[in-house]
Structure 1
Amino acid sequence: MSQHIRRHRRTAAVAAAAVGCTVLAGAWFSTGPASAGAITGSLYRDPNSQAARWVAANPSDSRMPVIRDKIASQPAAHWLSSFNLTTVQSEVSTFVGAAASANQIPVLSVYEITNRDCGGASAGGAPSLAQYQTWINSFSAGLGNRPVIVILETDALALQTCLSASDVTARDQALATAVQTIKAADSGARVYLDGGHSAWNSASDQANRLKAAGVQYADGFFTNVSNFNSTANEAAYGRSIISALNGLGTSGKHQIIDTSRNGGAGGDWCADDNTDRRIGAYPTTNTGDANIDAYLWVKPPGEADGCSYTAGSFQPNLAYSLASSAPYPPTESPTAPPTTPSTTPPTSTPPTSNPPTSNPPTSNPPTSAPPTTPPPTTPAGGACTAAYQTTNSWPGGFQAQVTVTAGRAAINGWTVRWTLASGQSISQLWNGTLSVSGSSVTVKNLSYNGSLAAGGSTQFGFTGTGSAATPALTCTSP
């Protein structure tokens, strides 16, 4: 999971939405208007999660009460990331069976696709797509006819930079077949495909990727796994994807948002050393938004990204940092803060404030620490300004973030320009449209982040080769 290599390294995604009207093990999947999307019911908390085991083993640790009450007490996704054909069916059956006995809905994050993470920090998965299908068959056999949310292959659609055109087609077919296999085996399964996140691919691009990979057979898509973008930005991005899917003839799809670490600052992809990260909304199916089926903790809080600790390992200092200043969960069942209601078909209207706060990692995430002092904002011509910040650097390359801010009046579109330093080039850019002529760089807004209210802002990011020199930016608006 490179997330972009963002890593979730061992993070995966959970999914589920519902379209049938089925009552199974105390969970209700509805099709009518619902303030909580298409799913209602209690999510399953694994008593054997890494966080729960740490709490049980460290009763005298001063951090224990916070980790127990704010993290271990909450449901999180169960990851399936080790390729083992002989044990997957029994592992799945045991986990889903325990949830059914508790009359709760389990979340499974499937992370087994061939060429996973493009060979990055979370490399692995099935040796071939044929063996992947065999694994999916065994996984599906373990579900039984029980309710479950399946997050299917984080990064598999948003991250395809290492794949040839034929490889992309083969992966799309494998995912479409996987969705249909799971749904055929378990009528209570709600399956979601990879939607990336709001600071990565454009909504239209992601919608096309979802359609090619069989989202028409699934219940929807998930976003923000192991990322830090705000719930408001992810919801707006999701509405744009849904609108784009409607235009492609694929309607009725819903979103799931990972809120495990989006309650604090954004910035560089790795959270292992970032003390400004916070847990976001507690997991719930009561989202208050008909487009969003659940807020889930797909990336279990406290599990490392892999830059300072082993990826996926539970680190109590990281868990405590994420949770120490967060509010305590509700006494009864977790509920999430209100979000923008969306009871009618979404439109492509872009968000006007609270821009995405984190950048997707590159296919080879750097390990050096980003600078602590951002460069000063550069005034721009026209009605906007642009501020540049190097968020990470490594030998021969760097990652940067640009914040575009409207002036005293609202704007509808923006363009940022600068000149590359000697030896610099841009290898990847997200949240904007890039054009380069010689050393002159031009970045224009996408459809969903061009309209900004007075004083509102948005961000785009990119990775480059060469030195991390700070350029002089200009920003103009039509």
Structure 2
Amino acid sequence: MSPRSQGIAAAVIAVAAAGAVVATTGAAEAGTISGTLYRDPGTAVARWVAANPNDSRTAVIRDKIASQPASRWFANFNLSTIGSEVSSYVGAANAVNQIPALTLYAIPNRDCGGASAGGAPDLNQYQNWVNAVAANLGNRTAIVILEPDSIALQTCLSAGEITARDQALATATRTLKAANPNAKVYLDAGHSTWNSAAEQAGRLAAAGVANADGFYTNVSNFNGTSSEVNYGKAIIGALNGRGIGGKHQVVDTSRNGGASGDWCGDDNTDRRIGAYPTTATNDGDVDAYLWVKPPGEADGCKYAAGSFQPDLAYSLASSAPNPPVSSSPTAVPSSSSPSPAPSSASPSSSGTPDPVGAGCSAVFAVTSSWSGGYQATVKVTAGSRVTSGWTVSWTPGAGQSISQVWNGTLTVSGSTVTVRNVSWNGALEPGGHAEFGLIASGSATTPALTCTSL
């Protein structure tokens, strides 16, 4: 079993130049994907943050990991539920105008029977599973990471089984693209210290990459971003030599910002989160840097594979740079609260103008709501001068209370709620902006905000 395959086990069980931070303004730069990646409010790390507000590690884990979008793994082969699972996830992303990333992991004989063994019982039933996924992808942009290890790891398969798998992957790709032409489908290209670029390009060609948008590398591994990008460019060149052009790469940067060492991340304190997830890669060959492997989930060496471990998350994040200030994190209510569901109405917002052009303005947007509570973001925009700090205040409606704030410091005095900037998002250039988020109880409303700046 390859080092990458062992790392993938963690992500599966959880659902059944390296270290650089890529600043993003939310708009795509290079690549073929434009937009903001979906921040799922139901991740294991977000639930842990909500349930442990007083833990000394919470602020770091919240601001640097739970705040970021990550791919949702669909690895449970269940034909009766997969359609609704995909529909719910994609629908939630569409409701807030963000791009969902899905990792599909149910190919028969996955991981060659290793730590992540499982999947569909046969290729016919696998295709039925893919059909259900495709039927619920919607019609907007979605990123599909199709079957990690399915192409780079084939050592357990006979020649006939390899051919059958390649055909199944090619059919799956066509099915997904036909159901949603806006879906971006990427196939498995291993990583830069596994198969050669020429070998991997040949395998991708055999698996139908001609009909896909490209390939992904480094899933559940630790290789540096620059090495992966160079490897991807070599694969693209080899594919071009085969007459297969126009393909792009996605790189998993969830934990590739650290030093060398054992592949297993469970007790390796040299590991760090890498580039924050973004579609703004500044590289025409790279569509996105994604967090496919959820940071903080164990590899199975020291802890149960797939379990969320706050000490691992803290180790990954503690010395990492802060996220770009334009990033808008998502959190979730505590595990005892209802899971937030997207409101059927369009997100609503209210704001205050900056009439003199010198202070700041703030816009409040409800992003999701559920029975008894809601989630919102507040975008703060500087006026015509440099801002060294900002404060947003408002009076909540009857029955409302703020239970959690991220990317800001909350104080409550009487009937007034005030949120001030944290250390790393207070300094804004003229017209620059920062965002903070909150979870509140009560009915979702859009209050009148007052924004002041230093």
The TM-score normalised by the length of structure 1 is 0.64
Does 2:42 correspond to 1:6? no
Residue number in structure 2 paired with 1:66? 60
Q: Say whether 1:250 aligns with 2:244.
A: yes
Distance 1:125 1:92 in 2: 17
Give the alignment partner of residue 220 of structure 2, picking from 217, 222, 226: 226
Q: Distance in 2 between matches of 1:268 and 1:248?
A: 36
Q: Which of 275, 295, 301 pairs up with 2:269?
A: 275
SS at match of 2:9: coil
- Residue 272 of structure 1 and its aligned partner are, at CA, apart by 0.5
Candidates 96, 106, 126, aligned match of 1:102? 96
1:168 aligns to 2:162 (yes or no): yes
Shift of 1:82: 1.0
1:114 matched residue in structure 2: 108
Q: Any conservation in 2 of the 1:6–1:227 contact (CA below 8 Å)?
A: no
Identical aligned residues as a percent: 68
Matched, 1:287 2:281: yes
2:35 aligns to what? 41
CA positional deviation for 1:274: 0.4
The letter for the 2-side match of 1:37 is G
Relative to structure 1, the CA distance from residue 2 to residue 132 in structure 2 (aligned partners, 3 Å threshold; closer, same or farther) is farther
- For each residue in 1:359-392, what CA deviation from the matched residue of structure 2 results, as whole angstroms up to 9, or x when unmatched? xxxxxxxxxxxxxxxxxxxxxxxxxxxxxxxxxx
Matched, 1:88 2:96: no
3-state SS of paired residue (1:39): coil
Structure 1: which 4+ aligned runs deviate by more than 2 Å?
1-6
Distance 2:87 2:124 in 1: 23
Equivalent residues in 2 for 1:109-258 (5 A)? 109-258=103-252
Whole-angstrom distance in 2 between the partners of 1:156 and 1:274:
27
Closer/same/farther in 2, CA of residues 323 and 4 from structure 1, 3 Å limit: closer
In the alignment, is the contact (CA less than 8 A) between 2:30 and 2:286 conserved in 1?
Answer: yes
CA contact (8 A) 2:29 2:279 kept: no
- Distance in 2, Cα, partners of 1:50 & 1:155: 24
Question: For 1:54-107, what per-residue CA distance to the aligned partner results, in whole angstroms no more than 9, with x for missing partners?
Answer: 000111111000000000000000000111110000000000000001100000
**Amino acid in structure 2 at the alignment position of 1:185:** A
Tell me by how many angstroms 1:2 deviates: 5.5
1:74–1:295 Cα change, 3 Å: same
Is 1:78 equivalent to 2:72 in the alignment? Answer: yes
* Alpha-carbon displacement from aligned partner over 1:236-266 (angstroms, at most 9, x marks no partner): 1000000000001100000000000000013
Q: Which amino acid aligns with 1:90?
A: S
Q: Partners of 2:213 and 2:222 in 1: how far apart?
A: 24
Residue type matched to 2:120 in 1?
Answer: A
Tell me the residue number matched to 1:331: 325
Secondary structure at the counterpart of residue 132 of structure 1? helix
On the 8 A contact 2:4/2:220 being kept in 1, the answer is: no
- In structure 2, the CA distance between the partners of 1:2 and 1:312, relative to structure 1 (3 Å rule), is farther
**Equivalents in 1 of 2:317, 2:86: separation in Å?**
29
Equivalents in 2 of 1:292, 1:273: separation in Å?
A: 31
> Does the 8 Å CA contact 2:261/2:268 hold for their aligned counterparts?
no
Residue correspondences, number: 315
Distance 2:256 2:323 in 1: 16
Deviation at 1:329, TM superposition (A): 0.3
Task: Output the CA distance in 2 between the equivalents of 1:232 and 1:145.
Answer: 33
| Alpha-carbon separation, structure 1, partners of 2:176 and 2:10 | 22
Give the Cα separation in 2 of the matches to 1:47 and 1:36: 28
Q: Is this contact kept in 1: 2:261–2:270, CA < 8 A?
A: no
Partner of 1:364: none
Give the Cα–Cα distance (whole angstroms) in 1 for the partners of residues 34 and 3 of structure 2: 29
1:57 matches 2:51: yes
For structure 2, the 5+ residue unaligned runs are 13-25, 329-454
Q: Which residue of 2 aligns with 1:318?
A: 312
The superposition leaves residues 16-74 of structure 1 with CA deviations (integer Å, 9 ceiling, x where unpaired) of xxxxxxxxxxx99xxxxx74211111000001101100000111111000000000000
Q: Distance in 2 between matches of 1:118 and 1:214?
A: 21
